[in-house]
Amino acid sequence: MDKSLLLMLVAYGVLVVASYFYAFKKDENKAKKGILKGWKQFLNQIPLLVAIFLLVGIFDKFVPKSIVINLVGKGKGFMSVLRASILGSIIMGPASSAYPFGAVLLNKGATIAATAVFLDAWVMVGVVTFPFEVSVFGKKFAVIRNVLAFVGAIVVGIITGLLIAGSAF
Amino acid sequence: MKKYIKKHLFEFLTFIFTGILFVFYPDKTLAAVKEGAILLLKMLPMFLCVVFFSSFLALFLSPKTIQKYLGKESGFWGIVVAAILGTVIVGPLWILFPLFETLLKKGARISIVGAMVGAFAIKTPWIPYAISFLGLKFILISVILILGYAVLEGLLMEKILLKVNYQPK
């Protein structure tokens, strides 16, 4: 494993242990509940996680690089970013699955901007949950929020690409 | 059993899909499964940290606690604070819609709620996990840009929604 990655993992582990030290001191029952809740969530998400990583592996071995480059690769202009944002808006799922997909896209030749747009749209724009959002907030709120989130994903992604890769498309 | 399948339909479909792939391309599929499994095992410790830290935050920094912090602070910095607080809340966005609606009904500024929702693309407990896939630079820049955009999104939403006479349902 990458050394910096290992270091980060250790640091994160220490943070988690420290936060539970604090929790047990403050409210033992609540802390126990927290551990139980975390464990349950872990068990709950394991099947999904297995499926997601399976798909990531399949995507990596079966989808040729040329397809990814053609759709969201370098030199494909604004359309590459637009495609990434539409794809990200339609897909829904927890962040745990978004990041490995982002990484495999990058490896396959997607631009930084397209990857960032894809990830941001994945979390922020909800096509599938849109009807629910309307039922809670009303149409005006839901439409404006999703439009702004869609635009935001594109803007943030393009700037990320400019800052890291020096170009967005 | 039926209920279980329904709950994990996506996973079952993925496994069936993998099985079919294996029949036609045994070598490639095996390589894909192996890659997915290695990736999953590598990520598991990090994932454990995420679930336990998330459940800690959920219990000791619930959205209701956050609501308290928001108080009457509703100037520009109140919006910035709201955006930062939005990053600490974990879980899928749509689960929190009813809570945000309550906030609006209680008289919170639209910009505050908008910024919180906007910042939701950043999930603090997930940041180390995300870095392990996409690198420090990529995630750091994304986080800063998304936070900035969340504040802007809140302000824009408020402007537009007040113009179209939006009322919380």
Residues in chain B, pLDDT under 50: none
pLDDT in tens, B88-116: 776 666 667 777 787 787 777 888 888 88
Give the tokens for residue A155: 């803007």
Taking alpha carbons only, the member of A94, A15, A17, A140 closest to residue B128 is: A15
Contacts with A29 (C-beta within 8 Å, 6 or more apart), sequence order = none
Judge contact between A118 and A105, C-beta under 8 A: yes
User: Looking at this predicted complex, what is its ipTM?
Assistant: 0.84
Size of interface A-B (CB pairs under 8 A): 216
Q: Which residue, A120, A122, A152, is CA-closest to B157?
A: A152
Predicted pLDDT of residue B68: 66
pLDDT at A155 over 90: yes
Q: Nearest by CB to B161, from A15, A61, A144: name it.
A: A144
Tell me how close the Cα of B73 comes to any Cα of chain A, in angstroms. 22
What pLDDT, on a 0 to 100 scale, did the predictor assign at position B71? Answer: 54
What is the residue extent of each domain of chain A? 1-62, 65-169
Query: In B, which residues are within 8 Å of A47 by CB distance?
Result: 8, 11
Chain A CB within 8 Å of residue B161 CB = yes
Measure CB to CB from residue B94 to each of A56, A133, A144 and give the nearest one: A133
Q: Is B16 on the interface with A (CB under 8 A)?
A: no
pLDDT class of A127 with cuts at 50, 70, 90: confident
Two tokens, residue B8: 């994990």
Q: Considering CB atoms only, which of A13, A23, A102 is closest to B134? A: A102
